């Protein structure tokens, strides 16, 4: 029987490139967060850890939780069956106690972008995410958490706030919240809302994990979730506020690069450990969890109209000409591609300059990737 120990204390988002360092600084790290997609994607697995030796080593030493990027919980269609099967196999093979994913979509029916996009903050958006979380929970058989993403434009037509949206999804799907305090800061600045009010609106007992790291200010004066800068002071303050106000029991340093010297990330972990000890000290650790996959009967919440909108939005970001045509002639440019009127108006109402900034960043990174491969 695999022992699945939930996360408690201060951990690190483990990456292959820092495996030796994490093993060496072991006593300072209470648990690790494993990037699930590095193992679910056969190509990435073959490239970084073909026999899963590194993962087995680190998971033997520390409690392990998983974190995914490829599920696209917010796509208005059932999660990809093959992906879900590979993910369930991965969770069955290793002592992963909990798994988190983003409350966002990265793809429509035919296109995918390398960015998290916010769902519409509507009843339909809630229903889609809840349904996909339930299916994922049933397939994996371990507790799930949803993460708030940094997003750069919201879809028009919201009928609730982002905090209410996240709260409803977590409550209705009966899962935890992974509060990324860097994303919260980035969104609060970019979209001009109060981060502490956002925090106060969440169901405190469900906020169990937190990501922390820095952010970056773009030339456009927007903040971006770039995952390589040291944690900024206002982000530390949000982490501390979350420790005060919620049931938070697992803090995770989420950096993707700039690990040299490793002293930098370790100082951040040390700083977080002090904060954690101050607020949690002698609290009991959560009990181990069993893995119990089940089957969920299919339901009919998935919406062809939202799926078509998501696909068209991906195209607007990836295809500069198409995006420019929408900016120029509004919803008329979206006729003839199977969108209903409401979806056309919603897409045309997204602030063009913001949408174009994100599209340009995505296209640049595609070019850079192409140049590398
Ligand atoms: Fe994340
Ligand atoms: Fe995060």
Ligand 1 midpoint to CA 101 (Å): 7
| Nearest ligand to the CA atom of 102 | 1
Ligand 2 midpoint to CA 248 (Å): 15
Ligand 1 midpoint to CA 327 (Å): 30
Task: Compute the C-alpha angle 173/208/126, nearest 5°.
Answer: 25
Distance, in Å, from the CA atom of 130 to the CA atom of 301, rounded to the nearest integer, reads 10
Task: Write out the H or E segment, with its range, that includes residue 112.
Answer: strand 112-117
What is the phi/psi pair of residue 127, to 5°?
A: -60, -40
Per-residue model confidence as pLDDT tens for the chain (373 residues): 899 999 999 999 999 999 999 999 888 999 999 999 999 999 999 999 999 999 999 999 999 999 999 999 999 999 999 999 999 999 999 999 999 999 999 999 999 999 999 999 999 999 999 999 999 999 999 999 999 999 988 898 999 999 999 999 999 999 999 999 999 999 999 999 999 999 999 999 999 999 999 988 888 888 988 888 999 999 999 999 999 999 999 999 999 888 888 888 999 999 999 999 999 987 778 999 999 999 877 676 678 889 999 999 999 999 999 999 999 999 999 998 889 999 999 999 998 888 998 999 899 888 777 665 4
Ligand 1 midpoint to CA 324 (Å): 30
pTM of the full predicted structure?
A: 0.94
Ligand 2 midpoint to CA 341 (Å): 35
Ligand 1 midpoint to CA 336 (Å): 36
Return the C-alpha torsion angle 215, 220, 222, 223, nearest 10.
0
| Nearest ligand to the CA atom of 211 | 2
Ligand 1 midpoint to CA 131 (Å): 20
Ligand 1 midpoint to CA 253 (Å): 11
Task: Compute the C-alpha angle 279/246/159, nearest 5°.
Answer: 155
Burial of 63 (0-12, 13-18, 19+ CB in 10 A): buried
| Nearest ligand to the CA atom of 73 | 1
Q: What is the pLDDT of residue 187?
A: 96
Ligand 2 midpoint to CA 183 (Å): 7
Ligand 2 midpoint to CA 211 (Å): 5
Q: How many other C-beta atoms lie within 10 A of the C-beta of residue 94?
A: 21
Ligand 2 midpoint to CA 180 (Å): 5
Ligand 1 midpoint to CA 332 (Å): 36
Range 87-90 contact pairs with CB under 8 angstroms and sequence separation of 24 or more: 87/36, 87/40, 87/136, 87/139, 87/140, 88/139, 88/140, 88/141, 88/293, 90/36, 90/39, 90/40, 90/66
| Nearest ligand to the CA atom of 66 | 1
8 Å CB contact between 131 and 175: no
| Nearest ligand to the CA atom of 226 | 2
Ligand 1 midpoint to CA 106 (Å): 13
Distance, in Å, from the CA atom of 311 to the CA atom of 317, rounded to the nearest integer, reads 10
| Nearest ligand to the CA atom of 100 | 1
DSSP for 122-182, please give it. Answer: SHHHHHHHHHHHHHHHHHH-S-EEEEPPP-S-PPS--SS-HHHHHHHHHHHHT-EEEEEHH
Distance, in Å, from the CA atom of 150 to the CA atom of 190, rounded to the nearest integer, reads 9
Ligand 2 midpoint to CA 310 (Å): 22
To which residue do tokens 């930098």 refer? 264
| Nearest ligand to the CA atom of 252 | 2
Strands 223-224 and 216-217: antiparallel
Distance, in Å, from the CA atom of 31 to the CA atom of 54, rounded to the nearest integer, reads 15
Q: What is the pLDDT of residue 372?
A: 54
8 Å CB contact between 72 and 79: yes
Q: What is the pLDDT of residue 315?
A: 95
Ligand 1 midpoint to CA 331 (Å): 33
| Nearest ligand to the CA atom of 182 | 2
**Encoded tokens for 246:** 């919620």
Ligand 1 midpoint to CA 78 (Å): 21
| Nearest ligand to the CA atom of 213 | 2
Task: Write out the H or E segment, with its range, that includes residue 9.
Answer: strand 9-13
Ligand 1 midpoint to CA 69 (Å): 7
Measured on CA atoms in the order 204, 206, 209, 213, is the torsion positive or negative? negative
| Nearest ligand to the CA atom of 179 | 2
Ligand 2 midpoint to CA 179 (Å): 8
């Amino acid at each position: 029987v695999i022992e699945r120990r939930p996360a408690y204390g201060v951990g690190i988002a483990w990456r292959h490139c820092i495996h030796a360092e994490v093993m060496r600084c072991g006593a300072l790290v209470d648990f690790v967060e494993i990037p699930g997609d590095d193992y679910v994607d056969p190509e990435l697995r073959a490239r970084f850890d073909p026999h899963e030796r590194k993962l087995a080593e680190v998971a033997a030493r520390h409690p392990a939780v998983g974190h995914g990027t490829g599920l696209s919980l917010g796509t208005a269609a059932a999660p990809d069956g093959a992906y879900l099967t590979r993910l369930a196999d991965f969770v069955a093979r290793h002592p992963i106690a909990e798994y988190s994913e983003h409350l966002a979509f990265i793809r429509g029916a035919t296109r995918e972008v390398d960015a998290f996009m916010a769902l519409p903050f509507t009843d339909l958006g809630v229903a889609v995410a809840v349904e996909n979380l339930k299916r994922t929970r049933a397939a994996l058989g371990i507790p799930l958490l949803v993460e708030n993403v940094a997003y750069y434009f919201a879809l028009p037509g919201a009928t609730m706030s982002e905090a209410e949206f996240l709260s409803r999804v977590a409550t209705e799907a009966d899962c935890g919240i992974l509060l990324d305090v860097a994303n919260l800061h980035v969104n609060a600045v970019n979209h001009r809302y109060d981060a502490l009010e956002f925090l106060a609106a969440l169901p405190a007992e469900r906020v169990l994990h937190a990501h922390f790291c820095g952010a970056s200010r773009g030339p456009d004066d927007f903040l971006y979730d770039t995952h390589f800068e040291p944690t900024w002071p206002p982000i530390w303050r949000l982490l501390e506020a979350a420790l005060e106000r919620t049931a938070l029991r697992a803090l995770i340093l989420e950096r993707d690069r700039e690990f040299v010297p490793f002293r930098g990330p370790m100082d951040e972990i040390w700083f977080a450990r002090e904060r954690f000890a101050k607020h949690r000290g002698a609290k009991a650790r959560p009990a181990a969890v069993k893995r119990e996959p089940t089957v969920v009967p299919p339901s009919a919440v998935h919406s062809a109209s939202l799926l078509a909108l998501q696909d068209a939005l991906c195209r607007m970001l990836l295809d500069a000409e198409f995006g420019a045509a929408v900016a120029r002639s509004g919803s008329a440019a979206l006729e003839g591609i199977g969108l209903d009127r409401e979806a056309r108006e919603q897409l045309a109402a997204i602030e063009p300059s913001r949408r174009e900034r994100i599209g340009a960043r995505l296209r640049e990174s595609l070019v850079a990737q192409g140049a590398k491969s």
